Amino acid sequence: MSTTPIAAPTATSGAVPTAPAAPPGPVFGPRLAVGMAGILLAAMVAGLNARVPALALPDTRGALGLGPDEASWLSTAYTAGELAVMPFATWFAVTFSLRRFHGWMLVSTLLLALLLPFVHELSWLLPLRLLHGLVSGALIPMLMMAALRFLPTPIRLHGLALYALTATFAPNVALWIATQWLDRLVDWRWAYWHLVPLGLLALALAQWGIPRMPPALPRLGQANWPGMALGAPGLMLLTVGLDQGQRLDWLQSPLIVAALTAGGLLTSLFLLSEWFHPGPFIKLQLLGRRNLGLGFVVFFLLLVSMSSGVALPSLDLTVQHGFRVEQLVPLGLVVGLPQLVLGPLVALLLYQRRVDARHLFALGLVLIAAACWTAARVDVDWMAPQFLTAQMLQAVGQPLAVVSLLFLSTSVVQPMEGPFVSGIVNTLRACGTLVGGAFVSHQMSERSSFHAEVLLGDLGRRLGQGLDAAAAIPLGPLLGRHASVLAVADVYRMLGLLALLLIPLVLMLQHIPAPMATRPTAP
């Protein structure tokens, strides 16, 4: 019985510039599927490694005797390392072979996770956490690279839907994981050690399932090493500026000004050198394809908009009612757990001939905007159940948007271009998440101050009209709470509006039809 070949997607209008087809790769089978599962688990380990220690920072700070300002640099150091490695990880995976390089990075991640709880000096913790971000962050780009390289067209989008879980599942489920390890075992060290069992399983699956390939060591003499020497520190400095900006009052701080200026200059020089270098780490010329250039701009802004998912309601409940991490778990699970089902379902929809991926993408943005506008009705009495409707809309909207984007962008990419595209996508992913967090923090501060001034001004007018001053004293704390909740509502509206403004850009993307089965030719 003959099998039916599946044609790769092609654009309906306009030629899509593509590279020559890659040489045939390993045949996809059960063993390779096991290897892909290992790479997926390793990417999840990397996501949890970023999120869980950040959630456990108050416990870590108390155990190590660190102040809030000192402890905040632990998260910044990890994020700086994670972002700095994103453009380069897949190049090294091709050079040393995917199986070998992936194993090195995963083993290094687990060893550092075992070591870090025994280090109590901040001067040692910061460089180790930076290194942890470098080796752990390298695991995520290799998931998309492997999906584009190994998965045949009929199931490739399902693999990319699993990649989307690193943005929609792991960060949200991290709340629950942090609660399980920290509150039940009452030991902050498990914020790091919890990675080890899952990481060892991922290592075994990947090392057994990913095919052995010879290294391409001659590439070492062809790489853009001066560009890397500019790009890695540039991205680290940008991370410092964005992550510490709110705490240090942005441009009022010489450190933040220096970090953003130097980081922006070094990163710009890196991108310029990549454009002209014959052997770049990321091939920026690919952005000339509409679904990559425009699509990645939309992707970056989408990640900023997705900051409304769990971060904002968690912030509101923490400020208004003093919620601890374990009380915030339902917010994360409502968004995170459905992704295990919804991601593959969206992939199935995109393989239907009558479905336009751009329309699904737009629908996802509408749902994200609806979630924001629903939650913008928040007041000081809202508890977790009141956010449930908005969280459910987020849970459906996020996979519709993210998986549709991956379909539209990767359909114009040849497998041999996968490492370049993966480096760009994951750099934007890390940057978008970082910028989204900085945007929310800054706007919360600005809008809270604005509303506090308005409310205090109104109170002053009432005092002038005869309101008893003694009766106004208890209103002070209440004014602060109301200013905060009004700021949350404002930020929700901003992010919802951003999601709606992305819809025209999405509809400008090139239409990519679903893969179609071709009939076997007659003998």
**pLDDT reading at 52 higher than 80:** yes
User: How crowded is the C-beta side of 331, counted as CA atoms within 13 Å?
Assistant: 26
Q: What share of the chain has pLDDT > 90, as a percent?
A: 66
State the pLDDT confidence band at 17, using cuts at 50, 70 and 90.
Answer: very low
pLDDT (0 to 100) of residue 145: 92
The region of weakest confidence among 56-60, 83-87, 347-351 is: 56-60
All structural domains of the chain with their residue ranges: 28-212, 224-280, 284-515
The whole-angstrom separation of Cα 62 and Cα 396 is: 38
- Least Cα distance to 405 among 427, 372, 429 occurs for 429
Nearest to 295, CA basis, from 436, 428, 142, 430: 428
> Per-residue DSSP letters for 393-423?
HHHHHHHHHHHHHHHHHHTT--GGGHHHHHH
Q: Which of 167-171, 274-278, 400-404 has the weakest average pLDDT?
A: 167-171
| pLDDT value at residue 461 | 74
Tens of pLDDT, residue by residue over 331-344, are 889 998 999 999 99
Q: How much is the pLDDT for 4? A: 36
Q: What is the pLDDT of residue 171?
A: 80
Q: What is the mean pLDDT of residues 86-113?
A: 97
Q: Give the model's pLDDT for residue 325.
A: 80
Torsion of CA 132, 177, 53, 249, to 10 degrees: 120
- pLDDT grade for 169, boundaries at 50, 70 and 90: confident
In this model, does residue 8 exceed pLDDT 50? no
Q: How confident is the model at residue 467 (pLDDT cuts 50, 70, 90)?
A: low
Average pLDDT, the chain: 88
What confidence score (pLDDT) does residue 517 get?
39
Average pLDDT over residues 445-463: 83
Higher per-residue pLDDT: 474 or 39? 39
Three-state DSSP class for 517?
Answer: strand
| Intrachain domains 28-212 and 284-515 with the same fold | yes
The pair of three-digit structure tokens given for residue 384, joined into one six-digit string:
């977790």
Global pTM reads 0.89
Q: Contact at 8 Å (CB) between 97 and 215?
A: yes
Examine the pLDDT at 166 and tell me if it is beyond 70.
yes
Q: Per mean pLDDT, which range of 8-12, 117-121, 432-436 is the poorest?
A: 8-12
The pLDDT score that the predictor gives to residue 5 is 36
- pLDDT surpassing 50 at residue 317: yes
The residue among 491, 399, 502, 384 whose CA lies nearest residue 446 is: 491
Q: What's the CATH class of domain 28-212?
A: mainly alpha
286-308 pLDDT, tens per residue? Answer: 999 999 999 999 999 999 999 87
Q: Tell me: the pLDDT tens digits for 182-215? A: 666 667 888 899 899 999 999 999 999 999 999 9
User: For the domain bounded by 284-515, which CATH number is listed?
Assistant: 1.20.1250.20
Classify residue 5 as left (phi > 0), alpha (psi -120 to 50) or beta.
beta
pLDDT digits (tens, 9 = 90+) for 229-281: 999 999 999 999 999 999 999 999 999 999 999 999 999 999 999 999 999 99
pLDDT score of 430: 92
